[in-house]
Every structure is written in C-alpha cells, then in structure tokens.
Structure 1
Amino acid sequence: GAPTKELFYSLNPTFLTGWQSIATSKNLGTIEELNANGVEVFFTKSQKTSNLDDIYEDILYFGKRLNLEENAKKVVENMKSEIEKVKVFNSGKKKVKVFAYDSQESAPFIIGGNGIGNTMIELAGGENIFKDSNFGFGTGNWEKVLDENPELILIVDYGDKSYESKIKFLKQESPILELQAVKENRFVRIPLSYISSGIKVSKGIEKISEGLREVQE
C-alpha cells in the first residue's frame, strides 16, 4: 500500500511513480496537488497495455530519467532478441489452447484478452481460451473452460495460495477435473512478476513457450 502523506512528504520526494491509484485524494493527493508540491509524477503506460512497445518505451523513459540510458537500451534489445527467438521457434507450429488460471474457486479469476498476459501467451505459441474478454485480469467461467477443452493450463503463482494448492483444487474439486489437461498434469507455473508489465516479460514468454513445447511435439 501507499505510505501516509506525512511519511511521504517527510522524505522530501521530487519524483513519484507506481500504481495510478496512489495519486488520488485519499492516498498521496492528486497529480495536480503533487506537482504543486514539487513532486514530478510519472505513471507507466504499460500498466494498462497489451502492447510490448509500451513496456519498451517505459524502460527507455526510466533510463533517461535516471541517467542509465545505455543500460535501458541494452535491456530492451535483450528483451527483443529473446522474444524474436521464441517467435522463430514457433513459426509454423500449431497454436496450443491455453487456460490461464489465476485463482478463485466458484468462478475462475483468469487472464483475459485485453492485457499483456494475452499478448505473452500468443507470442509464446498459445491461444488464450478467454482471448475475447475485454479485461486484462478478471472473472471467467468454468463452463467455457469445459467447452474449449484447453491443452495446457497456465497457473499464475503469487501470494499466500501456493501453486501446489491451486493444482490440488483443479484436480480434486474443480468443475474441470475430468479435462484431459488436468488429468495429465499439463500445468505450467508462471510467477506473477513474469506475466505483469515490466522487464521480465521476455523471460515470461520463454517460460510459457517452454511449457507449450511438450504439447506442440
């Protein structure tokens, strides 16, 4: 969460970045108020994007802002070449149907079609079964998972509910326990930081692609 206003200003900040929700009147104040108090505010484009170019742009911006321009350029070049390798590997291979499961039991909380997670699944050689939804993360439904019969289940790993406990739920109690992918343990673990906008997306794409390989062969 955000620090209190008092703590924030006691540190004499001149620059603020992070989640957009911190620049609201109930947190650290509006952008106008922060600017008036000598704080420059920058929110990354990539918080609300499904486009890799926005992530590159943010990295290059921080490079400039923090006098690490050469480093930032290298980071972006490496990311691009890692992703290019995956694309080349996948060219001509059939797309693998993927169900990207985050959490929740009564209805699955999932990766939808309108965020960077969906772009990553596609670049890795997959097809997100919830690609037609208009959110990045949101609530899907078990019926669609059953209808689509995905070949692979991507499980987002973070927080206090372990990867193992999510698999246990899917295999023992979920409405999709009879699906082939579930029975055959076709699960791929992806840490949340690898499927969130940032410098780990190319590694995330590699990770997903590796998980898809067994199904592609």
Structure 2
Amino acid sequence: MKKVISIVLSAMMVLGVSGCDNKNVANSSKTENKVEDINKNTSQYPLTITTYNYEKKPVNITFEKAPEKVVAVYQNSIETLLALGLEDKILLASGLDHEVKDEYKDAFSKVKYQEKVPTKEEVIGLQPDFILSWYSLFGEKRLGDVGFWHERSINTYMSQNSGVIKPNTLQNEYDDILNVGKIFNVEDKAEKIVNNMKNEIEKAKEFVKGKEPVKAVILEVKKEGVYRIYGEDSIGGDIAKQVGADLVAKSNGEIGNEDLVKLNPEVIFTVYYGKEIDRDSALKKVMDNPAFGSISAVKSKRVNSIMLSEVYASGIRTLDGIKTISKGLYPELYRNK
C-alpha cells in the first residue's frame, strides 16, 4: 500500500512541475509578446521630421513620443487628425472654413472647438506639446515664429502648400499626411489615405489614354470682371495636369473677361469658399455673365464649382479635389458611380 501511495505522489509531483513549467512558458510567451508590442509602438522614437520656420527655411524637429496635446488650426489640420483617428489627441481645434466631412462629424463632436483662432497667450495657457497649422499662423501678429515654441519643447508642423513651398503640388499633400502619420505612429492609416488618392489619379490617367486633352481653366471670381487663376503651380492645376487636361491658363495670376473669352475653355472650375462665395454664387457669377455667352464651357454647361479646401492646403480633401476635377473633365468616367 505504501508503495502505491508513493507512486501516486511521485506522479502528482511530476504533473505539478510539468504544469508549472507550462504555465511559466505561457507567461513568458505573453511577456515576450507584450515587450514586442511595446517595442513595435515605440521603436520609431525618437523621430526627426523636417518642417519650416517663418523664413521658409527647413527646420528639423525631434519627437521623443507621439504628441498627446495638440492645437490644430484650419480645415486640413483638423480633418487630417480626425481621418487618422486622433481626435482624442486634439486639445483645441479652430478655424474651419466648412463643416468637417460627414464621416468625421461624430469624432469631431468630442473635440473642443472655437471659431476664433487662438492668440499666442491662449496657446501658451493651454500648454500643448504640438501645433499643427498653416504657415500664416506663425506670423508675428499671430503665434510668432516656430523657434519660440521649439524652445519651450512644443513642436510645430506647417502644411507645405499653405505658403511655405512653391510650387504647390500633390506630392506635398501626400508628404504632409504621411509625416503626420509618422509623428503619431499611425503610418498604415496615412499610407492608406494617400494610396486612395494615387489610385484615383491613375484611374483617370488610364481613362484618357489616346484621347484629346480637354481645355480647362480653374479660377476664382475675385470681383466683377476679375478672376484669380489657379495655374499649374497650384494643387488644382497639378491635379488637372496629372489627369491629362490642357490648362489653357497655365500661370497663377489674374485675368479679365476678354482674356477668358479668348482662352475659350471647354471646362471651367470655379472656386467657392465660406460664406462670402458659396457654391451657387460661384456658378452664377460665371454662367450668368453675359460676356461669356460664346465660351464653350458656358454653352455646354460644363462649369463646375470646386471647394477651396479641395485645391488649397487640401489635406484629406485632396481626394475630393481629384474626383471633382476628374469628373468635371470626364463625366462618363463617373457616370455609373
């Protein structure tokens, strides 16, 4: 009997040790996985990104970790953060020209927003760790140059197409989105957004192969008889060129009624923004102008409104700009969509 009990006890001890070993292996595995996850999330830091100062000179800034308290000013800054799922990082948002896109309204409802752009003193009081905005915000009469903030361990990033770099290009918009993705360690989301834009460009390029270029103009009604041209050096112009249009007004600048009649574009894109010039008024100022009766685009009713936020410092609305311009040039490409 003693021998039987001894054998049973020995077997239980072996099983116990084996069970402990398995448990320790499992715990060890979990610990290793946890460490791997932490390393995966933090391995890119410290991260150095190039931005600019108010003299438009490149400045390198270093992030020791992803920002947690962000002041985001103007449409593209706010919507890019929302598109990347970073609404919980926004300390304060300000300066929208339009309501945020429908798909981000729920996220935006959780963000503190004020219409008026904050003063330098207000931002100092908020104690952010990152400011994302346009070039103009860092002028002397607003927040002051970026060096002031960098000395206080508050990093900044300027949208490149907001007055920092000429020409304005699609690539600058891609780079801004990708840079914000890197800063917050959400590169996969940023790459997906940019790839969608690139795919839309390629779709239009493929469609127009072998076709005659469409003569187009992108303009903004500055005042009666005076039109600001968005030429090849603008985002809208770059989109139009890339999808095969012939921009008959190639240089940024201003033209009058007679100039536009002589150019005789087949398609016109007229820019609208805010409350000053809404979608309908932008269209009417071109379509109802008696001087334009002979213009091909007016006769065929191929005058299209396009939002300023789609062709200037456009951020995630760059995709909308690509679609608006491609659809205006090639409506049959989007007919069944």
TM range (shorter): 0.7 to 0.9
Matching of residue 159 in structure 1 with residue 274 in structure 2:
yes
Residues 85-143 of structure 1: CA distance to partner in whole angstroms, max 9, x if unpaired?
A: 11111111111111212122231122123111111111233222211x2x3xx422322
The code of the aligned residue for 1:50 comes to N
How large is the RMSD of aligned CA atoms in angstroms? 2.2
User: Which of the residues 161, 181, 186 maps onto 1:46?
Assistant: 161
**Between 118-127 and 11-20, the greater mean CA deviation after superposition:** 118-127
Pair 1:80–1:172, CA change in 2 (3 A): closer
Per the alignment, residue 15 of structure 1 pairs with: 130
Report which structure shows greater RCO (CA 8 Å, sep ≥6). 1
1:119 aligns with 2:238: yes
User: Residues 270 and 304 of structure 2 are in contact (CA less than 8 Å); yes or no, is this contact kept in structure 1?
Assistant: yes
**Please, what TM-score do these two structures have when normalized by structure 2?**
0.58
Name which of structure 1's ranges 161-170 and 34-43 shifts more when overlaid on structure 2. Answer: 161-170
Cα 1:73/1:214, change in 2 over 3 Å: closer
Give 2:323's match in structure 1, choosing from 188, 206, 209.
Answer: 206
* 1:32 alignment counterpart: 147
Q: Aligned-pair distance for 1:174? A: 5.2
Sort the Cα spacing of 1:57 and 1:40 in 2 relative to 1 into closer, same or farther, 3 A.
same
Match of 1:107 in 2: 226
- The number of residue pairs the alignment matches comes to 212
Assess if the C-alpha contact under 8 Å between 1:170 and 1:177 holds in 2. no
Which amino acid letter does the alignment assign opposite residue 264 of structure 2? N
Assess, with a 3 A threshold, how the Cα gap between structure 1 residues 63 and 26 changes in structure 2: closer, same or farther. same
One-letter code of the match for 1:52?
A: L
The residue identity in structure 2 corresponding to 1:98 is A
CA–CA distance in 2 between the matches of 1:62 and 1:168? 38
**2:177 counterpart of 1:177:** no
2:258 aligned partner, one-letter code: E
1:76 and 2:194 equivalent?
yes
CA 1:64/1:147 → structure 2, altered by over 3 Å: closer, same or farther? Answer: same
Q: Return the alpha-carbon distance in structure 2 between the equivalents of residues 171 and 56 of structure 1.
A: 34
- Structure 1 residue runs of 5 or longer lacking an equivalent are none
* Greater Rg by CA: 2
State the secondary structure of the residue aligned to 2:185.
coil
Aligned to 2:185: 67
Query: Which sections of structure 2, spanning at least 5 residues, go unmatched?
Result: 1-94, 96-116
Q: Which secondary structure state, in structure 2, belongs to the residue aligned with residue 193 of structure 1?
A: helix
Distance in 1 separating the partners of 2:205 and 2:154: 41
Tell me the secondary structure at the aligned position of residue 58 of structure 1. Answer: helix
SS in 1 for 2:240: helix
Tell me the SS of whatever aligns to 2:161.
helix
Counterpart among 213, 225, 249 of residue 130 in structure 1: 249
- Could you tell me which amino acid in structure 1 is paired with residue 288 of structure 2? Q
Contact 1:113 1:128 in 2 (8 A): yes
What is the rounded CA distance, in whole Å, between the counterparts of 2:157 and 2:188 in structure 1? 21
Cα deviations by residue, 1:41-72 (Å, 9 ceiling, x for unpaired):
21132333433222222111100111211111
Alignment match, 2:305: 189
Question: Which amino acid counterpart does residue 266 of structure 2 have in structure 1?
Answer: E
Q: 1:170 to 1:186 in 2, by over 3 A?
A: same
- Distance of 1:25 and 1:164 partners within structure 2: 36
